């Protein structure tokens, strides 16, 4: 397998200044009982803007700690070493990354790289016998997801996908209200996420993600696998699935207006889709780099429940037929890391909803959405 480094990718694509993950600019503190037991030692692979946010979450995590980094930028290695007091032996570049296999002080690697690099570094980590958390979308195709799952299974390590909202109180309530049919059977779901510029200053990076920047890697299909659907729409696919507790049977989809044909020559600016679920519910979802939207809503036989904002880093606001929702704001990264880390420390298998199986399902749905948008017809979602 040809080795790819984040630095090589950024340099070759002219995107060296780009941040590596979309993130709204709100972070919250997380409190809890003190914990003095063993922590899971985590190495971050890729030191873009989202890695900085994860590092903040690791400082607040009860069961995980930042133990190492992987970067192609020597200056970043020096800065992170100093800021987080990292030992030299736990600092890697993309060429010597495989030697992490010989380091017992690294238990898990968190892959925070452009989408097309997820497969390579997940498989390399698995071969080094390290557990893996991979950012979403899991990969750029369902076939790649299956390869990643197989590699981790064969190596005897666990593979998690970074679904932070699976540990966030407001979204957990949306899941409960829908799946437990608190307001009766859900008949209709809406989910939307879109924005153009996100400020990372609250995470201490001093950077912004701006899809108007022509050097942004998300505009390059080779690295992103697609546009707004891959980067933002995955959250909407997720929301519709966990509010209903089902996977779509079929989808229809349409591309939205492109306002700058040059910038969006390779990937879509906006896409909307409709999904039919086994219980008869319909979902209407959209994702866009052209406008701001952030909300989920479910209509049931005896009422409704919704969040707006819903998918960003909060603070979230929710209400139901019975009134407003009030839950604590949490550091979503710390909550996610703790949920995954505690299970791995206890040598327990990860549940399907946070594993590679979940990432694979999302890619199967998104592949069907792209096919439907390209053909104009209804497409059955294939999960086999």
Q: Name the pTM for this structure.
A: 0.90
Look up 235 and say whether it is catalytic. yes
Domain interval for residue 240: 166-328+362-380
- 116: tokens are 């097309």
Residue 138 and residue 27 share a domain = yes
Is 150 within a domain? Answer: yes
- The secondary structure of the chain in percent helix, strand, coil, rounded to multiples of 5, reads 40, 20, 40
Query: What are the backbone dihedrals phi and psi of residue 139, each rounded to the nearest 5 degrees, phi first?
Result: -160, -170
Pairing of strands 131-134, 270-276: unpaired
Domain harbouring 29, CATH code: 3.40.50.720
Domain harbouring 279, CATH code: 3.30.360.10
At residue 48, the pLDDT reads: 87
Residue 271 and residue 227 share a domain = yes
Is 199 within a domain? Answer: yes
Residue 191 and residue 145 share a domain = no
Three-state DSSP at 311 gives coil
Is 214 within a domain? Answer: yes
Is 262 within a domain? Answer: yes
Cβ atoms of 123 and 147 closer than 8 Å = yes
At residue 6, the pLDDT reads: 52
Q: How many domains would you assign to the chain?
A: 2
Residue 186 and residue 295 share a domain = yes
Residue 178 and residue 59 share a domain = no
Residue 372 and residue 282 share a domain = yes
Look up 89 and say whether it is catalytic. no
pLDDT values of the chain reduced to their tens digit, one per residue, 384 residues = 445 555 444 444 444 333 323 322 223 334 456 788 999 999 999 998 899 999 999 999 999 999 999 999 999 999 999 999 999 999 999 999 999 999 999 999 999 999 999 999 999 999 999 999 999 999 999 999 999 999 999 999 999 999 999 999 999 999 999 999 999 999 999 999 998 766 544 434 445 567 777 778 889 999 999 999 999 999 999 999 999 999 999 999 999 999 989 999 999 999 999 999 999 999 999 999 999 999 999 999 999 999 999 998 889 999 999 999 999 999 999 999 999 999 999 999 999 999 999 999 999 999 999 999 999 999 999 998
Q: Taking the CA of residue 217 as centre, how many other CA atoms within 13 Å lie in the half-sphere pointing to its CB?
A: 28
Q: What is the DSSP string of 194-241?
A: E-SEEE-GGGT---EEETTSTT-GGG-HHHHSSSHIIIIIHHHHHHHH
Which residues sit opposite 164 in a β-bridge?
Answer: none
List the strands of the sheet with 108-111, edge to edge: 91-92, 64-70, 40-45, 108-111, 131-134, 159-161
Residue 180 and residue 150 share a domain = no
Return all residues near 282 (Cβ < 8 A) that are at least 6 apart: 187, 188, 189, 274, 275, 276
Is 142 within a domain? Answer: yes
Three-state DSSP at 378 gives coil
Residue 318 and residue 226 share a domain = yes
Is 1 within a domain? Answer: no
Residue 283 and residue 140 share a domain = no
Catalytic residue among 39, 130, 136, 207: 136
Is 356 within a domain? Answer: no
Catalytic residue among 94, 235, 242, 289: 235
Residue 196 and residue 144 share a domain = no
Is 110 within a domain? Answer: yes
**Residue 59 burial class via C-beta count within 10 angstroms: exposed 0-12, middle 13-18, buried 19 and up:** middle
Residue 157 and residue 14 share a domain = yes
Residue 160 and residue 63 share a domain = yes
């Amino acid at each position: 397998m040809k080795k790819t480094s984040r630095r090589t990718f950024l340099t070759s694509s002219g995107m060296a200044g780009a941040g590596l993950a979309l993130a709204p600019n709100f972070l919250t503190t997380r409190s809890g009982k003190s914990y003095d037991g063993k922590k899971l030692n985590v190495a971050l692979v890729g030191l873009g803007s989202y890695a900085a946010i994860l590092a903040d979450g690791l400082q607040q995590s009860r069961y995980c700690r930042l133990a190492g980094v992987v970067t192609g930028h020597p200056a970043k290695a020096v800065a992170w070493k100093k800021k987080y007091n990292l030992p030299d032996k736990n600092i890697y570049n993309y060429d010597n990354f495989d030697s992490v296999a010989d380091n017992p002080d690294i238990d898990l690697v968190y892959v925070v790289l452009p989408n097309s690099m997820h497969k390579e570094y997940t498989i390399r980590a698995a071969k080094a016998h390290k557990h893996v958390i991979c950012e979403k979308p899991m990969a750029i195709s369902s076939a790649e997801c299956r390869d990643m799952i197989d590699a981790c299974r064969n190596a005897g390590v666990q593979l998690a996908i970074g679904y932070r909202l699976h540990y966030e109180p407001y979204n957990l309530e949306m899941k409960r209200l829908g799946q437990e049919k608190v307001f009766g059977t859900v008949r209709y779901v809406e989910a939307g996420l879109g924005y153009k510029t996100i400020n990372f200053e609250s995470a201490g990076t001093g950077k912004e993600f701006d899809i108007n920047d022509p050097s942004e890697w998300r505009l390059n299909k080779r690295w992103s696998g697609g546009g707004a659907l891959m980067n933002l729409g995955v959250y909407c696919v997720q929301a519709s699935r966990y509010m209903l507790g089902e996977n779509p049977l079929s989808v229809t989809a349409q591309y939205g207006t492109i306002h700058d044909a040059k910038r969006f020559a390779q990937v879509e600016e906006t896409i909307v889709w409709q999904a039919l679920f086994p219980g008869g519910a319909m979902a209407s979802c959209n994702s866009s780099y052209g406008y701001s939207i952030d909300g989920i809503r479910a209509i049931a036989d005896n009422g409704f429940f919704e969040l707006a904002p819903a998918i960003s880093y909060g603070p979230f606001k929710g209400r139901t037929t019975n009134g407003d929702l009030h839950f604590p704001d949490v550091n979503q990264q710390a909550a996610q890391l703790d949920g995954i880390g505690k299970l791995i420390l206890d040598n327990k298998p990860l549940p399907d909803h946070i594993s590679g199986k979940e990432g694979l399902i999302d890619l199967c749905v998104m592949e069907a959405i792209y096919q439907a948008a390209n053909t104009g017809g209804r497409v059955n979602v294939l999960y086999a």
